[in-house]
Amino acid sequence: MESVLRQAVPLLAYRGIIVLSLVLASCGQAPAAPMPVSPAASTTVPTIVPQLPPVQVDELDLTVEGSPFRFVGANAIYFGFYEEYGLSIEEAIQSAKENGISVLRIYIGFGRDPWGGRPYEEYDKALDIAAQNGMYVIATLTDCCCMGGDWGQTSDTYYSHVPFCDMANATGLASYKEYIKSVLLRRNTVNGKIYRDDTTILAWDVANEPALQIVTDVDLHAWLLEVTSYIKTLDAKHLVTIGIDASRSLYDSGGPHYEALNVPGLDFFSFHHNLPNYSKVPQQLDQIAFRTRQFTAMGKPVVLEEFGIGSQRVLGQNAKKSTLESWVLAYKDQMDMAFAAGASGVMFWGWGVPETRTVPLWWKLEDHDITETEFCALIREYQIPTFAQP
């Protein structure tokens, strides 16, 4: 999703909302020196970490302690930048909890480096704070978004930035498995927990939005089978998913592009469907319903892992009341449709602190925050519709 604002052009269309162009720094720029992810012993006294009950799967349901677990969550992928800009991860997570958000999604890696170019200790901190606040986390192991823009228009250029996303490359797969091992066996430098033992982590997301337009269904299936099976040999406790961009019209009908994702090691399906503009939401709700039902028909739970029409910041400071009401309703309509179709969870894009509006990067216009009183009221008071599974 974040890819649209990575591309510097005179005018940028972000989820269908036109915003002024920004001078962007490449989020994929490697740090000056490699930052190892290998497990490290903590040099501080470990904190007492609350043990959240693990999230499990029962047929088409995600469950916690035997009861269905349905949730409203948020993408909060920019924690790797927070220290650089003097922002508070703790404030972001606490305010999320206070406003009815129960699951956050973060990115850990980009290629061979940490996502955001900051030390992995930032993710140790985020996981510890999440645990202290009873917040589950979906941890995305590598970001594959997006071909085009900063990553070039060819597959060679794209894969030079995201080598772990080359699903037909045996060498890249071997390297990715070594990377996965280093993350899963990493010891949190804040609280001493090994990542694979941390029930704060709801699931491992093996890839964010791989460029499926240049990947065959056969290669995707084989890669996903290998990666998910490997994770299960290291960590049999956590669930595993993959974040697929299903916004394309290809997903308006069934076929091998759905079936390629159905491997035993994938515990639930996660799809992204980012709509272009709040005024267009009513015409596209059926697409969300179709995708949800198509995935549940394959016999596993489904999460709408990304959806959004931009934060309130893109509406401007003087948005009309009617505009704001329509914008908030568009979020509610998408959540209602996903849950009615059988989704176990929905995760809007994105969440942060109010100060992120001052960050000189593309995500300054993406984050919802506590100043969005109408939006926060919706999320905080939202009643997840009951539904009968098909």
Q: For position 195, which CATH number holds?
A: 3.20.20.80
- Start-end of H helices in 67-169: 79-82, 89-98, 121-132, 155-161
β-partners of residue 208 are 143, 243
Question: What is the count of structural domains for the chain?
Answer: 1
pLDDT at 6: 39
Q: What value does the CA radius of gyration of the chain take, rounded to a whole number of Å?
A: 19
Mean pLDDT across the stretch 319-348? Answer: 96
Reply yes or no on whether the pLDDT at 26 is more than 70: no
User: Residue 385's pLDDT is what?
Assistant: 87
In angstroms, the CA 238 to CA 261 distance is 18
Lookup: tokens for 204: 């491992």
Which pLDDT belongs to residue 40? 44
Q: What is the Cβ-side half-sphere exposure of residue 83, based on CA atoms within 13 angstroms?
A: 12
State yes or no: pLDDT of 343 exceeds 50.
Answer: yes
* pLDDT value at 264 more than 90: yes
State the pLDDT confidence band at 20, using cuts at 50, 70 and 90. Answer: very low
CB distance 210 to 249 below 8 Å: no
Domain of 63, in residue numbers: 52-381
- Does 36 map to a domain? no
Cα 348–chain centre separation: 9
Q: Is the pLDDT of residue 23 over 90?
A: no
151 vs 142, higher pLDDT: 142
CA separation (Å) from 10 to 18, 150, 178, 305?
A: 11, 15, 41, 30
**pTM listed for this prediction:** 0.88
State the chain's maximal CA–CA distance in angstroms.
Answer: 55
* 388 assigned to some structural domain: no
What pLDDT score was predicted for residue 33?
36
Q: Is the predicted pLDDT of residue 50 greater than 80, yes or no?
A: no
Tell me: pLDDT of 24 over 50. Answer: no
Judge whether residue 38 has pLDDT over 60: no
Query: Where does the pLDDT of residue 3 fall: very low under 50, low under 70, confident under 90, or very high at 90 and above?
Result: very low
Whether 245 is in a domain gets the answer yes
Q: Is residue 389 part of a domain?
A: no
pLDDT of amino acid 47:
54
Q: Is 126 inside any structural domain?
A: yes
The whole-number pLDDT of residue 34 equals 36
The kind and range of the H/E element at 20 are strand 17-20
Q: Mind listing the pLDDT tens digit for each residue in 87-98?
A: 999 999 999 999
The predicted structure's pLDDT at residue 149: 73
Tokens representing residue 383 in the block: 């009643």
User: Does the residue 143 lie in any domain?
Assistant: yes
Q: Would you state the pLDDT for residue 117?
A: 84
